[in-house]
Structure 1
């Protein structure tokens, strides 16, 4: 395996070339580290990890170069209780996230086979990590959207929810967010230096696994090429959106 000139994780210094906000890096680390994926989902959904099992239902080959236009952005997961989760890292504001997240969640909710009962449909949770504020007039770090009655605020169904984590507004994390460690995950994803990464992952074995995987990825020539491909695609998407906005 060809290695780049990246020091050992425990002594590495300086800028991380390809961090967690690169959607290739995000997908690779979650797909290849079941413990990390489980811990992240349990944090967002306020679940105890004991007894929880997670399975990626749309795995892709991550060890080969690929065309940027063919890359599957979202990570679809099923829990052992049947719940369906969709996760995505989105750095560029394409001004379509509400429609996009509803589309992903609806696709997962349309899960029943012919003859099955609607009451047996499993809950669906869409989780988006965004590096921009979705609604500028009401910024939130961690927002939860569900179907409800607009007059009485009565919840229509608990089986359909959309979670939006604004990585650009970690400063707005609530006490509840901090209790479940959601702000710490956000800081992990936003980390730009190896020194900060060691500080954030200190005394957290699962996050240290994620950090070690990040080091291994940054040390692998093929993985770096894939990450760069995604970074280039994101750059040109940003240029296009800024021109059309």
Structure 2
């Protein structure tokens, strides 16, 4: 049998969890995710942007997130992040707010707004603790009193899982080990713990044998690697130049105050350099805006 595709690739992930025929797989995964944080299980979901064969990995309009809605109207967004794009917390809040506010039509009451849940599955460490599943809500600092239940953000970090930690009972960790790429020799135990995983595994095996799916996977994988490399190169170069210029300005102005001002100016110059490098690499304006803090209009002027 050919080598299995990586289920962390967002294209493959959506094929497994975001297609109509695998809606039961998504429901089982979501219920284990919510159970892990103490929430009640869902009985039914609607996939709002199901995968279709028209989705192309290199089409910039394609969305490989999964959007779902419960019977009660709760909105759920599941996103797989293979590489660190930085500022994930701000990016998460930005897209959460767009999803939350987009519910309201003209003339509708704020009471119509439903809870929005974001689930970020990360292939890198982000939260400074050892927990692989962290859940955030909006609560008062001292008393822990919840202001509203409408915001819920999950960060699931696959890199915090041990490859040897195959559980002996059902639960979220079984799904995460599958996503992380657990050795196939453990699959039997994982699917015994979580029977619906068998369908996810069968789907992955089918995709791995399918030439068209493999071609799309490899195209998407190349795009993701190129994007990550371009971002890393642009960031490193920009920061290095910013630090160097900041040091020069600081030395010219002398002592601590001059160094501080020079560093600030140098860092700003570095930020400009990062943006220019990203523009030169052809990254989307929206992505550059998220990563650098410049507005799209400012980037257009910079690119003129």
With the shorter chain as reference, the TM-score category is 0.7 to 0.9
Deviations 1:115-173, CA, capped at 9 Å, x for gaps: 322223211100010011113x33431111112223443221111110000101125xx
**Is 1:43 aligned to 2:32, yes or no?**
yes
Q: Which protein shows a greater Rg?
A: 2
Total equivalences in the alignment: 225
Which residue pairs with 1:29 in the alignment?
A: 16
Q: After TM superposition, which residue ranges in structure 1, 4 or more long, deviate above 6 angstroms?
A: 177-180
Unaligned runs of at least 5 residues, structure 2: 237-304
Alignment correspondent of 1:206: 196
Residues 76 and 222 of structure 1: CA distance in aligned 2, closer, same or farther (over 3 Å) = same
Question: How far, CA to CA, are the matches of 1:178 and 1:54 in structure 2?
Answer: 28
Assess if the C-alpha contact under 8 Å between 1:74 and 1:87 holds in 2.
yes
Matches within 5 A, 1:47-58: 49=41, 52-58=43-49
Equivalent residue of 1:147, what SS? Answer: strand
Residues 54 and 79 in structure 1, CA contact (< 8 A), matched pair in contact too: yes
1:125 equivalenced with 2:80 (yes/no): no
Separation of aligned partners in 2, 1:37 and 1:116: 31
What is the CA–CA distance in structure 2 between the aligned matches of 1:219 and 1:160, rounded to whole Å? 40
Against the structure 1 CA distance between its residues 44 and 152, is the aligned structure 2 distance closer, same or farther, given a 3 Å change threshold?
same
Q: Indicate if the aligned counterparts of 2:58 and 2:220 stay in contact, CA closer than 8 A.
A: no
1:227 alignment counterpart: 217
Query: Greater shift after overlay, 184-193 or 207-216?
Result: 184-193
2-side partners of 1:155 and 1:64: how far apart? 40
Per the alignment, in what secondary structure is the counterpart of residue 156 of structure 1? strand
Match of 2:206 in 1: 216
Distance 1:180-1:164 versus aligned 2 partners, 3 A rule = farther
More helix by share: 2
Paired with 1:48 and 1:138, the residues of 2 have a C-alpha distance of: 26
Contact 1:188 1:201 (C-alpha < 8 Å) held by counterparts:
no
Could you say what secondary structure the match of 2:119 adopts?
strand
* 1:238 to 2:228 alignment: yes
2-structure distance, mates of 1:48, 1:206? 19
Match of 1:114 among 106, 120, 135: 106
Contact 1:75–1:86 (CA<8 Å) still a contact in 2?
yes
Question: Is residue 47–residue 67 contact of structure 2 (8 Å, CA) maintained in 1?
Answer: yes
Q: CA deviation at 1:209?
A: 0.5
Judged with a 3 Å threshold, the aligned counterparts in structure 2 of structure 1 residues 180 and 124 are, in CA distance, closer, same or farther, namely farther
Using CA pairs under 8 Å that are at least 6 residues apart, name the structure with larger relative contact order, 1 or 2: 1
- Per-residue CA distance 1:29-75 (angstroms, 9 max, x = gap): 112201101011111112555x7111111234236644253331311
- Report if aligned partners of 1:19, 1:25 keep a CA contact under 8 Å in 2: yes
Contact 1:191 1:197 in 2 (8 A): no
Structure 1, gaps ≥5 residues long: 7-14, 172-176
Matched with 2:137 is 146
Task: Give the Cα–Cα distance (whole angstroms) in 1 for the partners of residues 208 and 54 of structure 2.
Answer: 13
Partner SS state of residue 218, structure 2: helix
Q: 1:166-204, CA deviations, whole angstroms, 9 ceiling, x for partnerless residues?
A: 101125xxxxx9987111111010125433333422353
Q: Taking structure 1 as reference, are residues 57 and 200 closer, same or farther at Cα in structure 2, changes over 3 Å only?
A: same
